[in-house]
Amino acid sequence: MADTTSQSVTIRGVEKNFGSFKAVTDFNLEVAAGEFVTFLGPSGCGKSTTLKMLSGLLPQDKGEILFGERRIDMLPANQRNVGLVFQNYALFPHMTVAENIAFGLSMRRWSKPRKQQRVAELLSLVRLEGLENRKPEQLSGGQQQRVAVARALAFNPDLVLLDEPLSNLDAKLREQVRLDLRDIQKHARQTTVFVTHDQVEALVMSDRIVLMNAGRIEQIGTPVELYAAPLTEFGARFVGANNLVPATLHGDASDPRAIVDGVDGTLALTSMSEQLNEGAGAPIWLCVRPEHIFLTAYETMPAGGEVRQFNARVVDKVYQGTSVLIDLEVEKLGRVRAERPTMAAAELQAGQQTSIAFSSCHAVPRRR
């Protein structure tokens, strides 16, 4: 595999408006060369719009975009040396797989033997050897997707952009392709920006995630940071499921505590974020992930932190294979969702009274 010319990408102050609708506002990001960054967010948050601006298909209203040291935001798409993988793959139906992959090379006037060699390289990279002369309509969805990736990588672009390329695949295939893509990207050391609304995808594949909402960046961080320490309520709700318990700050910086609304006594806050420098009495959320809600009737709590236990009634139980989702109506807390291994919750029935508990080290406070 030839050395890639992958560049770093800098986006500064980019903005895009459609009439009075602010699609993207004040977008700032530095992507290192060879990094895999995901734009994550719900529909309409501006992630695809930003991707289009990176590709050059949509001109930005304000701001600059640089590949490496070179400013490229005034260049049209065909001068930017960017590889783009569309959600529907957009493989040229009237060309064979080989012609599709070689299209970018033909545009760059590569010689025929050089093109052939490169096409062969890429076909083996995406494990589609032997399919050079097929037409796209003769390929399965997963195969088409790999051809689209090969086509985008063929000419060693400065940046590879993928616009929700996995949404059209069925779940099993999606899992496999996720890992494949990641492997290819690591192998090629290709700077990549990936757009998706599926947070599991983002968590699995990315070096860093850019969480977007309503045209703005909510948070940039590694998957672990985004999952364990979301900065905003939106992030807490969007990335992974979360139980948000209303509480009030109590105590001070040396001994931060919280009072859960409707519950006597205080709870130590063992995980604090720097942002939470409010004074006592400030309203907060305590975010507890479903996998940290324990069924005290059937399992032992892990040690550490202060534990609070509550009575609860099972409302619903959904079997997911290795784990079970349990919706509970908890006294004083309201509706809570727990996720436990199937074995632990085996005997639990809907309507049953039981008790749950969580530890203060799993209660992440966030501003309300």
Query: Can you give the binding site for another protein, defined by CB under 8 A?
Result: 55-57, 59, 64, 71, 73-74, 76-84, 86, 88, 90-94, 103-104, 107-108, 151-152, 155
Rounded to whole angstroms, the Cα distance separating 39 from 11 reads 13
Whether the Cβ atoms of residue 240 and residue 199 lie closer than 8 Å to each other: yes
CB of residue 78 to another protein, shortest distance in Å? 5
Joined together, the tokens standing for residue 130 give 């032997």
Rounded to whole angstroms, the Cα distance separating 355 from 309 reads 7
CB of residue 217 to another protein, shortest distance in Å? 21
Instruction: Name which of 151 and 208 has its Cβ closer to another protein.
Output: 151
How many other CB atoms are found less than 10 A from the CB of residue 124? 12
One DSSP character per residue, 123-145 reads HHHTT-TT-TT--GGGS-HHHHH
Instruction: Name which of 36 and 155 has its Cβ closer to another protein.
Output: 155
Instruction: Name which of 21 and 320 has its Cβ closer to another protein.
Output: 21
Instruction: Name which of 53 and 269 has its Cβ closer to another protein.
Output: 53
CB of residue 71 to another protein, shortest distance in Å? 6
CB of residue 171 to another protein, shortest distance in Å? 24
Instruction: Name which of 122 and 269 has its Cβ closer to another protein.
Output: 122
CB of residue 23 to another protein, shortest distance in Å? 17
CB of residue 133 to another protein, shortest distance in Å? 17
Rounded to whole angstroms, the Cα distance separating 149 from 306 reads 50
Give the burial class of 204: count Cβ atoms within 10 A of its Cβ; 0-12 exposed, 13-18 middle, 19 or more buried. Answer: middle
Instruction: Name which of 84 and 338 has its Cβ closer to another protein.
Output: 84
Type of residue found at 26: D
CB of residue 139 to another protein, shortest distance in Å? 16
Q: Long-range pairs for 169-174 at CB < 8 Å and ≥24 separation? A: 169/141, 169/142, 169/145, 173/141, 173/142, 174/201
CB of residue 14 to another protein, shortest distance in Å? 12
Instruction: Name which of 108 and 127 has its Cβ closer to another protein.
Output: 108
Joined together, the tokens standing for residue 27 give 């977008």
Helix (H, G, I), strand (E, B) or coil at 368: coil
Whether the Cβ atoms of residue 368 and residue 233 lie closer than 8 Å to each other: yes
Phi and psi dihedrals of 297, rounded to 5?
A: -70, -25
Instruction: Name which of 69 and 274 has its Cβ closer to another protein.
Output: 69
Rounded to whole angstroms, the Cα distance separating 312 from 356 reads 7
The per-type count for the chain, helices as H runs and strands as E runs, is 8, 20
CB of residue 24 to another protein, shortest distance in Å? 16
Instruction: Name which of 103 and 298 has its Cβ closer to another protein.
Output: 103
Total length of the chain: 368
Whether the Cβ atoms of residue 256 and residue 267 lie closer than 8 Å to each other: no
